A and B are shown apart, each in its own frame.
Chain A
């Protein structure tokens, strides 16, 4: 211990004359260990950010990512004037806001519910079960919806037909968002509740005792002890969720799309895929994608600022 103390004071006195070169020399092993990750992130995450300028340039096959002629906001204006613009915005917002309004409180409620269970074994069984759907792939989930909701042969389809819900729900404009959102809750509610359960586990037991002495019943304990304890977690996760409010789950929407539900299921991201990757209009699609990213980023900043002011909680 004395030795450790000695070296510590030695290393504290060192930085006074440490130049950048010296720190590199001292920490070269640390730099070597993090270098592969840095290189990988620069290539695959930062170079595409540099490539965003494609949205302002006319894509030229021979000139590559950034060599085309500069055309300014031409592609953005083209998108704003396109007849699909307002439909895309409406669908994207409708789907993402419904997902947040329904999907965000669900895991909080589940965590509070699970936290009430005293029977340890039953609690474990329930938790193991509700985490499970999180590990099912999106393709399988959509396939599952298709076979179970099929009006002639699916078990849910048959049940709904008996209840008077007619027709093929998968091809219906009205049913698309409820099916999308409810299946999303089904798949992720358990998994997303883990973080709240972790927050609940760290509540000081003395608070529970104090509440009991004050004569609080179980519901009052939930309302006055448990919910205030997880508020910081709720706010942080809400901010993070808001940041992706417009980039709804591309893959799932894409897989659930068919020609009949397209009026409600075409969102910005699926449109970017279709114009960019499938029809090779790279610059136009890049502009639409950038528009999407900018709105996401602005939402994140705005919500974070509000949270900072109102609840004194923020990401940065």
Chain B
């Protein structure tokens, strides 16, 4: 086995060999540049904060300490944010899918006369919008400010990019003959959509479901603009308070800048921990759906 690959190397033109070495070096560099920060947070969150802050923890965790995680598990803000975001993400994604999937199906039907016109109606919103202030005023007039509904119904409820991906998938994967055969047996559009199209479209449902879910999970904007009520704040706003406004310890102990360098070290460990805790759900979903990514983007990119 090794001799074969050695032979292969020997048989190569020197130019190509150099090229290969260059490629491999570049790939290894890319890998470390992207992976290292993520790896570092993990080891920093479980290492002795003093060693971390003096630059001693670089490749292996040293002097285990779970102080950061203990603080996070005692912090009620994190759990309120978690609960809120979980609800917004699940319920929001459900509504997103219920609006997007049937609409995409309709737009994929060639016999539907208003198809092109409606496509323009949706795509236009990608390039032109009312802007922040008119949208805010609308939410205010609809009395959606400071309610959970603003997380569910907003200008991105029907995401046009996801709509196009889904439509293209239906066009390419649901043959026209299938519908004709189904109508022969007296099948309506409703029935055809629920009993035939949906079971055949698990891949695209998974992909755009994930897109919507991740968007809801990471949505910081909605909480920032439309929500004042503390009990409704999503996780990302809580994260901002902890990570950026330095409100690390909610129950007093050593909060703020008064503790000087010593407290800052512990504060940093809480930050490393909260980064992990808050990103974990998305990162756990990631490997399951990853295989669909390329397919999803590919089918969506064929026709814009």
A30 touches B189 (CB 8 A): yes
The answer to whether B157 and A44 touch across the interface, beta carbons within 8 angstroms, is yes
Residues in B208-235 with C-beta less than 8 Å from chain A? 214, 217-218, 220-221, 224-225
Residues of A near B225 (CB, < 8 A) are 273, 277
Stretch among B71-79, B251-259, B294-302 lining the A interface: B294-302
Q: Is the CB of A136 within 8 A of B279?
A: yes
Quick one: CB contact mask for A273-313 with B, threshold 8 Å, 1 for yes? 10011000010011001101100110010000000000000
Would you call B127 an interface residue if the criterion is a C-beta within 8 Å of the partner chain's C-beta atoms?
yes
Q: What is the minimal beta-carbon distance from A163 to any residue of chain B, in angstroms?
A: 13
Other-chain contact of B31, A43, A125, A143 (Cβ < 8 Å)? A125
Chain B contributes a number of interface residues (CB within 8 A of A) equal to 99
Establish whether residues A292 and B131, one from each chain, have CB atoms under 8 Å apart when the complex forms: yes
**Contact of B70 with A by CB under 8 A:** no
Answer whether residue B172 sits at the interface, using C-beta atoms and an 8 A cutoff: no
**In the complex, what residues of B have CB within 8 A of residue A210's CB?**
none
Assuming the contacts A194-B294, A297-B128, asked whether A153 and B189 have C-beta atoms less than 8 A apart, the reply is no
Report whether B131 and A48 are in contact in the complex, using a CB–CB cutoff of 8 Å: yes
**Do B155 and A48 touch (CB < 8 A)?**
yes
Contact A217 to B19, CB < 8 A, known contacts A7-B184, A155-B58, A297-B127 = yes
Residues of A contacting B188 in the complex (Cβ-Cβ under 8 angstroms): 29
B220 and A33 form a contact (CB under 8 A): no
- With an 8 A cutoff between CB atoms, is B304 at the interface? yes
Contact assessment for B293 and A194 in the assembled complex, using a CB-CB cutoff below 8 Å: yes
Distance in angstroms between the alpha carbons of A140 and B40 in the assembled complex: 14
CA of A130 to CA of B30 in the docked complex: distance in angstroms?
8
Task: Enumerate chain A residues within 8 angstroms of B132, measured Cβ to Cβ.
Answer: 269, 272-273, 276-277, 285, 289
CA distance A3 to B297 in the complex (A): 37
Contact indicator B243/A48 (Cβ below 8 Å):
no
In the complex, residue of chain B having the shortest beta-carbon distance to the beta carbon of A292: B131
Contact among B107, B221, B265, B298 for A153, CB-based, below 8 A: B265
Q: Is the CB of A158 within 8 A of B131?
A: no
A251-278 vs B: 1/0 string, CB under 8 Å?
1001100000000000001001100110
B239 in contact (CB, < 8 A): yes
Answer yes or no: B113 CB below 8 A from chain A CBs. Answer: yes
Q: Give the total number of A-B pairs whose CB atoms are below 8 A apart.
A: 265
* CB contact between A140 and one of B57, B112, B118, B239 (< 8 Å): that residue: B239
> Which of these, B100, B118, B153, B290, contacts A44 with CB under 8 Å?
B153
Q: Does B93 touch A at the CB level, under 8 Å?
A: no
Give the number of chain A interface residues (Cβ < 8 Å): 96
* Residue in A65, A122, A315 whose beta carbon sits within 8 Å of that of B141 in the complex: A65
- Which B residues, 144 to 186, have Cβ-Cβ distances below 8 Å to chain A? 153-155, 157-158, 163, 177, 180-181, 183-184
Contacts A139-B240, A272-B132; is A251 near B220 (CB within 8 Å)? yes
> Would you call B137 an interface residue if the criterion is a C-beta within 8 Å of the partner chain's C-beta atoms?
yes
Complex contacts, B131 vs chain A, CB 8 Å: 48, 52, 272, 286, 289-290, 292-293
- B23 contacts A by Cβ under 8 Å: yes
- Nearest-CB distance from B26 to chain A (Å)? 6
CB distance from B90 to the nearest CB of A (A): 17
Residue of B nearest to A256 (CB): B244
Instruction: Say whether A152 faces chain B, with CB atoms less than 8 Å apart.
Output: yes
Residues B102 and A33 in contact, CB atoms below 8 Å apart = yes
| The one of B37, B112, B261 that contacts A27, using a Cβ cutoff of 8 Å | B112
A137 near B128: Cβ-Cβ < 8 Å: no
Contact A49 B130 (CB under 8 A): yes
Could you tell me the distance in whole angstroms from the C-beta of A271 to the nearest C-beta in chain B?
11
Interface residues of B (CB under 8 A from A): 13, 15-16, 19, 23, 26-27, 30-31, 33-35, 37-38, 40-41, 44, 52-53, 55, 57-58, 98-100, 102-103, 105-107, 109, 111-113, 118, 121-122, 125, 127-138, 141, 153-155, 157-158, 163, 177, 180-181, 183-184, 188-190, 193, 214, 217-218, 220-221, 224-225, 236, 239-240, 242-244, 261, 264-265, 268, 271-272, 275, 278-279, 282-283, 286-287, 290, 293-294, 297-298, 301, 304
Give chain A's interface residues, CB within 8 Å of chain B: 3-4, 7-8, 11, 23, 27, 29-31, 33-34, 36-38, 40-41, 43-52, 54, 64-65, 110, 113-114, 116-117, 122, 125-126, 128-133, 135-140, 142-144, 146-148, 150, 152-153, 155, 158-159, 186, 190, 194-195, 197-199, 201, 217-219, 233, 236, 243, 250-251, 254-255, 269, 272-273, 276-277, 282, 285-286, 289-290, 292-293, 296-297, 300, 315
Known contacts A46-B125, A186-B33; 18 further A-B pairs (Cβ under 8 A): A29-B188, A31-B106, A37-B163, A38-B121, A41-B122, A41-B125, A49-B129, A49-B130, A114-B27, A130-B30, A131-B290, A133-B34, A133-B38, A136-B279, A140-B279, A144-B275, A255-B220, A292-B131
The 6 closest A-B pairs by CB, nearest first: A48-B130, A143-B243, A51-B134, A289-B131, A137-B218, A37-B103
Can you list 5 contacts pairing A with B, beta carbon distance less than 8 Å? A31-B106, A41-B122, A44-B138, A51-B135, A110-B30
